[in-house]
Amino acid sequence: MSRLAPVPNRSFVQELSDRLAVEYAGAVPPGRILAYVVLTKHRLRAIHLDEATRRDLIEASVRRELVRKSVRPLSVVPGQRTRTPVTRAS
């Protein structure tokens, strides 16, 4: 009987992107979420922080970016009145 090697722990990047993909399902594609997590982790690599603080900062930064990307501008919200000039017949 052979013993299987233990499954390695999933990386923080994959866990965070999976969790955020569930939270932002339909608003932001999962591939884009993974890209934001990887890019943010890359950007913060030169900052010397403890691991817990780094993870919190990565998550906060990615969440901020996802909110920014998933919210539509007010001008395209259905039912929103826009400022259009009123033309009068002469």
Q: Using one digit for the tens of pLDDT, what is the confidence trace for 42-81? A: 999 899 999 999 999 999 999 999 998 887 554 545 555 5
Chain-centre distance of CA 26, in angstroms?
A: 12
Beta strands in the chain (DSSP E): none
Record the pTM: 0.67
- Token pair of 37 as six digits: 């997590």
Closest CA to 58 of 16, 8, 11: 16
Confidence band, pLDDT 50/70/90 cuts, at residue 8: very low
Give me the torsion for CA of 9, 43, 34, 11, rounded to 10°. Answer: 0
Domain borders along the chain are 26-70
Q: What is the pLDDT of residue 79?
A: 58
